[in-house]
Structure 1
């Protein structure tokens, strides 16, 4: 009878492992939560943003603060700070401010943020994925300039976000 129970238990374990809908709670190699299991609150804190080929006038790095959204507790809010230097106030970055508000969500491992330099219109969008093995401390994706100063065919700008200690 014990051998029979062992066979049944082995069969059930194997059947669960083959279920494509089953997800491990942690990445077996790193011990990190799976990207789909990350919650917005795990992203709260300071981040550094690095851009590859940012538009003229915008710096290659910025600092981002992510916090709990005041109205939607499962969502993100925050601020991005950029050193605009000599470009501040120029026509080519007219739609961007040194500090811009952020709001968005973390959905199935995708970081989706809207940026607003004026508090009214969306001046940039962020779409990124958690870097495998980063335990939610790095995201890569693309930022899109949607400001009034952006050309109609504004390119997607690759970015990397890294959480600061």
Structure 2
């Protein structure tokens, strides 16, 4: 409940109490004024009160100043270039992935992985919001796969999916989060 109190030496005082919309208006009139001047000043003060009460209301017709995220399916591989934090949730490992353009296939990704005791490279693609990376720790044979999807509300800054170690035959959910500054 808010209260607005307006005082005018010609009209007197107008006070208004409101929760959502004006509920009570009290007018105290100066008996020495002409009726015309009292009505005119009363209307001016009522207008001021109405403007003051609506100035604090939220304007829901305006869109938010924060731009909406593009749909995950519209994000392209170059938008993933840069540093990412890795979290393998099943085994608690963390690390870093750096992605860039693949040197031979311009639409594909190449990256370096560093998590736990593992240092390896990965190559793959992003298609309609789905990331597929093949990992190799000797640059010859495939040692793990990463399959995930861009989180729709993350503006391309988070990917969740499944990591599968082909050598040890173990899997873990993973989270990739864009590092600050990229």
Unpaired runs of 5+ in structure 2? 1-65
Q: Whose RCO is larger (CA < 8 A, sep 6+)?
A: 1
Q: 1:71 aligns with which of 93, 104, 108?
A: 104
Partner of 2:137: 117
**TM-score if structure 2 supplies the norm length?**
0.60
Q: What SS does the corresponding residue of 1:133 show, helix, strand or coil?
A: helix
Structure 1 residue 82 displacement after superposition = 2.1
Considering fraction of residues, name the structure with more strand. 2
Structure 1 residue 146 displacement after superposition = 0.8
Output the CA distance in 1 between the equivalents of 2:157 and 2:85. 11
How many positions carry a matched residue from both structures? 115
Q: 2:79 aligns with which of 26, 42, 51?
A: 42
Runs of 4+ deviating beyond 3 Å: none
**TM-score if structure 1 supplies the norm length?**
0.66
Partner of 1:82: 115
Structure 1 residue 131 displacement after superposition = 1.0
Output the CA distance in 2 between the equivalents of 1:34 and 1:121. 34
Specify the structure having the higher radius of gyration (Cα).
2
Partner of 2:88: 51
Structure 1 residue 30 displacement after superposition = 6.0
